[in-house]
Amino acid sequence: MIKIKHIAIAGALSSSLLVAGCGGSSGSSSSATNSQTGSLEISGTASAPAGTVAYYEEQNAFELALNFFVPSLSAAVTGLEPIEGATVELIRVDNNGNQVGDVLATTATSITGDYTLTLPEDVNLAGNLIVRITGQNNSALRAQVVEQDADISPVSEFVLQKFISQGAALDQLVVSDVVKLSGRVEEFDITLSGAANLDAAFSVLEDQIGDFVESEVAVAASSSGDAAGIAGDYRSSAFSFALHDGDNDNVGTYATDIWAGTFTFADSGNGSVSITHTKEDSFYGSLSGSALNQSSVYYESETENFNEVLPATLTTSGILSITGEFEEDIDDDYGWRYPAHTYNLQRVADTGIFFMVSNEGAVRYATIDTNNDGIKDAIDPQAKEGDEAFRSLEVFSRQPTAFTNSDLTGKFGRVFLESWVTSGTIEVQTEINTLTFDGAGNYDYGAVEGHLISLASGGASYTPITETAETSQPMVITADGDITSAGGEPSDGFINDTFDLLVFAEADGTNQQEAETNKTLLVKLPATAPTVTNNKYRMLLMSMKLDAGEELLMTSSKFNTFLTMASETSGTIDGAFFEVQKTGLGGEIAVSTETAESVEVDVSLGGSGVSTLTISGEDGGTTTMEGFFNENATLGVFTLSYTETASSDPDELGLVVLVKTGN
């Protein structure tokens, strides 16, 4: 049985991908700023995947000799070879990456791929100052000259492309922010040896660091927001799916995890936010084994008190960004490495509500006793044991200070996601319905519709879910918004400070027998269908597929995945999705990225009822999102189901949150 504690915002800070290992940050040889004047010497190494370097022009023997004695610098990734004998050009570019003006300086790479050039007088380090190597068919590798060390590689080109695709004003970027991003990227061990060309290299980078770089760029490319409007005490609630594998055996794990925390957000000025984490309750359940019919259940719960302060940044686009660093975690049996991760919370406009999907992972290693005291105290980096992937949907909600029952009135839309495991069986369930509150501490519980998918050694199955309506159910909520009971049963939830969002995160289980975790979101509904035309929403998606072939497929959206509404009845999705797949409980994990470009969405707005978003896939499959928009259509909460064909039952279920962003 493999167990890892849940990945919380103040716990083990981990990566947005599965990686083969992690190293330390290489650091910077200069403390560059935007105001550098005078001449500077710029140097670096140019490298590309093996087999692609021949596409770059070669120098003559005299040019090679001029650069032969430049010291070699090690590449940040493996599988690269030096680009020798290539012309390096120093240029300015516009925000689309196109050259502006003449070439400012040129030099050439040595046989070890190294180069050196001197900046002309009054040319400053900047996000739009570029060193470029051009190959056949005008293919190019570029790097931003934001410090005196400027390595040119597929990684530097990839980062620049992310700045361009997000519409960054390159000449306005703070140099230190770009330097920091470059250093954090170098903490990842990335292998490009299998990339036959640059397109293949960029595909590998998208899988491994795409979400991380997008999250960092979104903050670096934005201006500082006013944090005074988000100050206060907050509750958080998260639900996580996880898949683990083993390198040296055929044992794997399916796991779910929920955690609920308390935080205080304080305005530190100039967009800086001080976040104090004070408490967290967590519940972890897993099913581990070589196969479903040879599996065992693990379940535990834990409460921890903290007084940990986390620095964060708020942007004008409503992103609250918390930076996690590279970490290691060691217990008696295993050690884990978590590369750097950026937690970007998206604010619901002008509210104390934030959502995020976190795409994280870890690499598991054997441990060793370095001082012979009988305690294993270090990771053995040569003894990799397996990979672990985590996908979580988390909400932060500002607490009220003087809630009374009269504050909670009207009709709310409810979406629900649950996972349950017992030996040999995995189940995932979703539900939707409405609740109507009377302002006196009671609610009517509307009829429920939903889906249940199950996977056992005998195959997969589907069951539709229905529940009858109930009336006059009590709900007990304290003055600070803590929901202690609902329907006469103990509950664990909270309400926000404007009384239009309710959140529940609950769990139950017995170790070695069963484990159940679930998450509920309720938003206050409008009286009539809200207007959504021209609205752009950040799409936060997390789902699990249980296939008849005992395939487990965990899907989640990357940070820059958006739904843009062209009208009240149609929209398009642009972005990308992680897919983490394994066949059988003991199978190996494989991670890939699926890109969405102008994927058409049919929309049926339900007003105070259910809204439905439908995507008809080219392969005949259909994705259906059923749920609710809030009163001003700034937030939508939906369940997700996927069917392989028009006549088949769903085999994938999940949750989707839509948060309106600035257009």
HEC per residue, 389-419:
EEEEEEEEEECCCCCCHHHCEEEEEEEEEEE
Could you tell me which residues are beta bridge partners of residue 220? Answer: none
354 within 8 A of 314, measured Cβ to Cβ: no
Q: Tell me: the pLDDT tens digits for 243-253?
A: 999 998 889 99
Buried b (16+ CB within 10 A) or exposed e, 410-424: bbbbbbbbbbbbbeb
Beta bridge partners of 276: 264, 309
pLDDT tens-place string over residues 584-621? 999 999 999 999 999 999 999 998 899 999 999 878 89
**CATH 2.60.40: which residues of the chain?**
41-186
Between 4 and 276, residue with greater pLDDT: 276
Max Cα separation, the chain? Answer: 89
* Cα 176 from Cα 266, distance rounded (Å): 25
Characterize 217-242 residue by residue with b for buried, 16 or more Cβ atoms within 10 angstroms of its Cβ, and e for exposed: bbbbbbeebebeebbbbbbbbbbbbb
Res. 375 pLDDT band, cuts 50 70 90 = confident
Task: Give one word for 439, left, alpha or beta, with left for phi > 0 and alpha for psi -120 to 50.
Answer: left
pLDDT(139) > 90: no
Phi first, then psi: give them for residue 264, nearest 5 degrees.
-125, 125
How far is the C-alpha of 143 from the C-alpha of 44, rounded, in Å? 10
Residues 6 or more apart whose CB falls under 8 angstroms from that of 629 comprise 523, 525, 526, 530, 532, 605, 611, 635, 636, 658
What gap in Å lies between CA 581 and CA 549, rounded to an integer?
12
For residues 446-452, average pLDDT = 98
> Where are any strands of DSSP class E within 245-340?
252-269, 272-289, 295-314, 319-324, 327-330, 334-338
Q: Are 273 and 312 in contact (CB under 8 A)?
A: yes
**Span 373-386, average pLDDT:** 89
Q: Among all chains, which residue has been given the structure tokens 């509920």?
A: 520
Select the more confidently predicted residue: 332 or 416: 416
| φ, ψ dihedrals at 324, nearest 5° | -105, 150
pLDDT classification of 502: cutoffs 50, 70, 90: very high
The band of 113, judged by pLDDT with boundaries at 50, 70 and 90, is very high
- The rounded distance, in Å, linking the Cα atoms of 176 and 626 is 44
Structure-token pair, residue 392:
């979580």
- In DSSP terms, 106 is beta-bridged to 89
- pLDDT at 38 exceeding the cut of 90: no
Residue 12, pLDDT score: 33
The CA R_g of the chain, rounded to the nearest whole Å, is: 26
Q: Which residue has the higher pLDDT, 36 or 610?
A: 610
Residue 653 structure tokens: 């279920």
Q: What is the average pLDDT across 2-21?
A: 37
Task: Please check whether residue 540 is in contact with residue 519, taking contact to mean a CB–CB distance below 8 angstroms.
Answer: no
Least confident of 2-16, 331-345, 495-509: 2-16
Distance CA 649, CA 453 (A): 9
- Mean pLDDT calculated for residue range 532-558: 94
Q: Tell me the per-residue pLDDT of 64-107, one tens digit each, with 9 for 90 and over.
A: 333 333 233 333 467 788 999 999 999 999 999 999 999 999 99
Question: Mind listing the pLDDT tens digit for each residue in 618-638?
Answer: 788 999 999 999 999 999 999
Q: What is the mean pLDDT of residues 413-417?
A: 98
Q: Who contacts 452 (Cβ-Cβ below 8 Å, separation ≥6)?
A: 427, 428, 429, 462, 463, 464, 465
Provide the pLDDT for residue 56: 59
User: Sorting pLDDT into bands at 50, 70 and 90, what band is 185?
Assistant: confident
Q: What is the mean pLDDT of residues 338-362?
A: 92
DSSP, residue by residue, 149-174: B--BSHHHHHHHHHHHHTT--GGGS-
pTM value? 0.87
- Cα angle vertex 453, ends 452, 454, to 5°? 125
Q: What is the enclosing helix (H) or strand (E) of 200? A: helix 198-220
List Cα–Cα distances, 395 to 5, 235, 261, 522, in angstroms: 20, 8, 10, 12
CATH dotted code for 41-186: 2.60.40
Mean pLDDT to the nearest integer, 14-19: 35
pLDDT band at 351 (very low <50, low <70, confident <90, very high): very high
432 is written with which tokens? 């939707």
**Confidence at residue 37, expressed as pLDDT on a 0 to 100 scale:** 47
Q: Are the beta carbons of 342 and 219 closer than 8 angstroms?
A: yes
> 9 near 343, Cβ under 8 Å?
yes
Residue 53 pLDDT exceeds 70: no
Tell which wins on pLDDT, 350 or 186. Answer: 350
pLDDT at 35: 46
Give the pLDDT of residue 13.
32
* 647-659: average pLDDT: 96
Residue 310 pLDDT more than 60?
A: yes
- pLDDT band, very low/low/confident/very high, at 197 (cuts 50, 70, 90): confident
- Would the CA dihedral through 642, 647, 648, 649 be positive or negative? positive
Identify the DSSP state of 185: H
Please report which confidence band the pLDDT of residue 10 belongs to, taking 50, 70 and 90 as the band edges: very low
**d(Cα 140, Cα 198) in Å, to the nearest integer?**
9
Strand pairing report for 562-565 and 551-557: unpaired
pLDDT at 22: 39
Residue 662 tokens, joined: 């600035």
Which pLDDT score is estimated for 432? 98
58 or 568: which carries more pLDDT confidence? 568
Of 252, 337, 349, which is closest to residue 296 (Cα–Cα)? 252
Query: Mean pLDDT in the chain?
Result: 88
Cβ partners under 8 Å of residue 472, min gap 6 = 442, 444
pLDDT value of residue 8: 41
457 three-state secondary structure:
coil
